[in-house]
Structure 1
Amino acid sequence: MSSIASQIPQLEGWLGQNLGSIGWDLAVRILGSLAILVFGIWAARWAARSLRRALDKVNAQPIVASFATNLAKAVFIILVLIAAVANLGIPLTPILAVLGAAGLAVGLALQSTLSHLASGVLLAILRPFNVGDFIEINGFTGTVEAMHIFQTRLVTPDNRVIIMPNSILTNSPLVNYTQKGIRRVDLVFGVSYGDDLARVKALLEGILAADPRVLKDPAPAVGVLTLADSSINFAVRPWTSVNDYWPLTFDLNQRIKERFDAEGITIPFPQRVVHTVAQAAD
C-alpha cells in the first residue's frame, strides 16, 4: 500500500500540469484515445463472435464456449483501455498499481464465487456428466437440466429443482446412472423352504427371457442369495437400458408375484418358532 501511495502524487502532478493548460496536443490525444476506444470495442466484439463460431464448429461445450468468449472479450477490452490511457500520456504505473490492489481485494472477497467459476470450467472440460444425465451427489438425485458457469440445476423425480454450486460437484463423490447407457435391476424374492429351488429358478429365468427389455448381453443372473430366517432369498439381476430401468422394475415385481401365486410358490411371512418346555411338578 505504501508503494501505491507514493505513486499518487505523481499522478496528481501530471493532472495538474496538463489540465491547467489544455492545448491542441492534448485535444488530439483525446480524439486519438476516443478512436482507440471505439475501434477497440468493435474489434473486441468481432473477435468474440469469431471465437464463438470457431468453438461451435468444433462442438465445444456451450459452457466452455461462453466462458472462453467472455474472457477473451474482457481481456481485449482491458488492453484497449490501457492503450487509450497510454495515448493520453497518463503514467500507467500508479494506475496499474491501484488496479492491482483493487483486483486483489476483489479476488479475496469473491473467493467462493471464483471457486464456483473454476469448478464450472473443470466440469465443462472433464465432462463427468451431460445435460439429461441422471446423477446422485451429496444425497441428492436428479436429472441435469442445465449447466452454468457458477452452478448446475437438477430436477428430482418428483419435479423439485435443486440448484447445486459447481464447487460441490467437483469436490464430492458423484454417481452418474446414465453415462454407461445400461443399468442392472437388483431384485430379491423370498420363497418357502419347502419349495423346489430348481423350479423357482427356472420360472424366474423364464420370466426374464420373455421380456424384450431384458438385455441378453450382459446376461441376467438368477441365484440363491441367502438362507434367511423365514425364507430362501433369490437374487434376480437383469440388465436393461437406463430408460427402461424403472418400468422394468415395477413390471417384474408385479409379474413375479402373480406367477408365484399361479404356480403355488409361497412367499413366506416372517415367522418364529417357539418351543415350550414343561417343568415337572415337585
Structure 2
Amino acid sequence: MSEIQSLFEQGSEWLPWLTEKSISIVAGILILFVGKWLARRIADWLEKRMLASKVDKAVAGFSSSILYALMFAAVVLMALGQIGIQTTSFIAILGAAGLAVGLALQGSLSNFASGVLMILLRPFKAGDFVEVAGQMGTVDRIELFHTYMKTLDNRSVILPNSSVMDDTIINYSAQSTRRLDLTIGISYDADIRQARDLMKNILDNEERVLPDPAYMIFVSELADSSVNFSVRIWVKSSDLLQFKSDFLEKVKYTFDENGVGIPYPQMDVHLSKAD
C-alpha cells in the first residue's frame, strides 16, 4: 500500500511539469502555424502594395520572398523558445551548421546571390521579352532562387537565377525601337530597279515604318541563284514580328503581280557529247 501511495506522490510531483510542458508545446505549435500563416499574408500584402505603387513586379516578388523568409525564421525561433529550447545556443548551433550546409548548398546560395544581383543591376524587368539560357519568353517574376518566364506558346519556364546571370541576356524590350534586317532575293532575269521601286512603294505606304532613321534598300550580293537585296527598316519593338510577316507577304504578292521572279536554289547542268 505504501508503494502505491509513493507512486501517486511521485506522479503528483511530475504532473505540473508535464502540464506546463504540454501547454508550452501546444503553444509553440500554434505559434509556428499561426506565424507562418501571418508571415505569408504580410508578404503578399507587401507585394500587392508595391505593385499598386507601380514598383516593378520582379522587385516586388523578390522583396516579398525575402520578407517571408525572414519572418518565418523569426517565427521558428519564437516557437522553439516557447517550447523551452534555448534559442541562443540554438542559433550558435545553427551558425556552426550553417557553414557545412552552405558548402553543401553552394548552388542554392549562388542562385540567391544571382537574384540579388538581378534586382540591383536590373538587366530586365517583369514584362520584358528576353532570350536567356536557351529560352525565349516574357519575364513574369524573380524570386529568391528562380526566375519565372512565359514563352510565346504559353509554357511556364523556371530558370535558376545563377543560370540567368551566367548566360548572355538578350533583352528585346530594352529599346523602344528596333531595326529589322531582311534579305530578299530576285531572279537574274528580273529588273533590279523595278524590284527596288516596288519595295520602296510598299514601305512608303506603311505607317509602322519609322521615318528616322530612314529605311535602306541596296543590293548586297550576287548569289548563286539570285540577286539579293538587303532591306533595313526601323520600327517600334512592339510592331516588329507582325510587321515582318506583313511586309514579306506584301513583297511576295507585289512581285508576283509585276512579274518579278523570286528564285529557289537551282543548278544548270551542261552535257557535251565526246567525239
The two structures have a TM-score, normalised by structure 1, of: 0.69
Structure 2 distance, partners of 1:157, 1:96, is 47
5+ unaligned residues in a row in structure 1: which ranges?
1-37
**What SS does the corresponding residue of 1:185 show, helix, strand or coil?**
strand
What are the equivalent positions in structure 2 for 1:34-73 lying under 5 Å apart?
A: 56=50, 59=55, 61-66=59-64, 69-70=67-68, 73=71
Map residues 1-282 of structure 1 onto 2, 5 A cutoff: 56=50, 59=55, 61-66=59-64, 69-70=67-68, 73=71, 97-279=92-274, 281=275
Amino acid at match of 2:267: R
Q: Indicate conservation of the 8 Å contact 2:176/2:237, yes or no.
A: yes
Cα deviations across residues 125-155 of structure 1 (Å, max 9, x unaligned)? Answer: 1111111111111221111122222111112
Q: Which amino acid aligns with 2:263?
A: P
Q: 1:194 to 1:126 in 2, by over 3 A?
A: same
Query: How far off is 1:269 after superposition?
Result: 2.9
Share of identical aligned residues, percent? 38
Aligned AA (1:62): A
Displacement of 1:110 in angstroms is 2.5
Q: Any conservation in 1 of the 2:62–2:143 contact (CA below 8 Å)?
A: no
Q: 1:277 to 1:58 in 2, by over 3 A?
A: closer
Structure 1 distance, partners of 2:136, 2:113, is 23
**Gap change, CA 1:92 and 1:146, over 3 Å in 2:** closer
Q: What is the SS of the residue equivalent to 1:255?
A: helix
Where does the alignment leave 5 or more consecutive residues of structure 2 unmatched? 1-30
SS in structure 2 at match of 1:260:
helix
After superposition, give the CA deviation of every residue in 1:28-62 in whole Å (9 maximum; x if it has no partner).
Answer: xxxxxxxxxx9xx9xxx8xx99xx69x94794721
d(CA) in 2 for partners of 1:178, 1:254: 25
**Deviation for aligned residue 1:162:** 1.1
Deviation sequence 1:226-245 (CA, Å, 0-9, x none): 11111101112212122211
Instruction: Write out per-residue CA displacement over residues 46-86 of structure 1, whole angstroms, 9 at most, x where no aligned residue.
Output: xx99xx69x947947214532564576578779999xx89x
Look up the SS of the partner of 1:186 in the other structure.
Answer: strand
Per the TM alignment, residue 195 of structure 1 is displaced from its structure 2 partner at its CA by 2.2
Distance in 2 (alpha carbons) for counterparts of 1:271 and 1:80: 78
RMSD (CA atoms): 3.5
**Number of positions where the alignment pairs a residue of Structure 1 with one of Structure 2:** 235
